[in-house]
Amino acid sequence: MQERLRTRVITTSPSDLRIDTVAGLDVGYRSNDTVAGVCVVLDAKTLVVLDEVVVEDKTDFPYIAGLFAFREMPVLLRALDQVTVAPDLLVADGQGLAHPRRFGLACHLGVHTGIPSIGVAKNAMGTFEQPGEERGSTSDLVMDDEVVGKALRTQDGVKPVFVSVGHKIDLNRACAEVLRLAPRYRLPETTRRADTLTRQAVSSG
């Protein structure tokens, strides 16, 4: 399915792409089969939270590297369906094109929903040279001799994050949006807020 669907991924930005609202998506595991899916929608300019949803569900799909989307997509889509503010961009805590089959979670979410999407990962999938130490510095993230994303320094001197296209956005615009979402910390606010909600949901069970 990943091999088939990856042909639908669009790696360019529409000429009229305007991003006013951004959704952060994350999944937490309370047990091996109980998951919490989180969707937090922020104002892209002020980073104020406009809406947030936590959905709990069961999953029977096993934990297999490279196939996380099949385990996490159902609960994330339920959470996305319940937010009252429509996002213009989805930010997945994971990979987009930086994936062995070039179809990570961010791609799967984007193709399924039709919403522009990007993957922002804490760890690299592929190889890269360290970018410059200054905020905004980038270097290519490479798999199989192909550029699949960027290592992006979001703050001076901190470890980079790894940005890859999910759907309907180009890589340079994706990096620019991540920088806009990360004015103070290494991780974009979408990821930080979603992570916090996920931890709260998992610990409250």
Q: How many Å apart are CA 192 and CA 172, to the nearest integer? A: 22
Instruction: Retrieve residue 58's tokens.
Output: 């069961």
To which residue do tokens 């592929």 refer? 126
Predicted TM-score (pTM) of this structure: 0.88
Q: What is the pLDDT of residue 180?
A: 96
Query: CA-based diameter of the chain, in Å?
Result: 45
To which residue do tokens 């309370």 refer? 30
Q: What is the pLDDT of residue 36?
A: 78
Q: What is the pLDDT of residue 161?
A: 96
Instruction: Retrieve residue 168's tokens.
Output: 């309907």
Q: How many Å apart are CA 91 and CA 119, to the nearest integer? A: 6
Ramachandran bin of 85, using left for φ above 0, alpha for ψ from -120 to 50, beta for the remaining angles: beta
Radius of gyration of the chain (CA): 16
Q: What is the pLDDT of residue 105?
A: 87
What end-to-end distance do the CA atoms of the chain give, in Å?
A: 34
Q: How many Å apart are CA 203 and CA 20, to the nearest integer? A: 32
Q: How many Å apart are CA 139 and CA 102, to the nearest integer? A: 19
CB 42 within 8 A of CB 22: yes
Other Cβ atoms closer than 10 A to 46: 8
pLDDT along the chain (205 residues), means of 10: 74 93 84 77 96 79 52 79 95 88 86 94 92 96 94 96 96 97 95 82 64
Helix axes 105-113, 68-82, angle to 10 degrees: 40
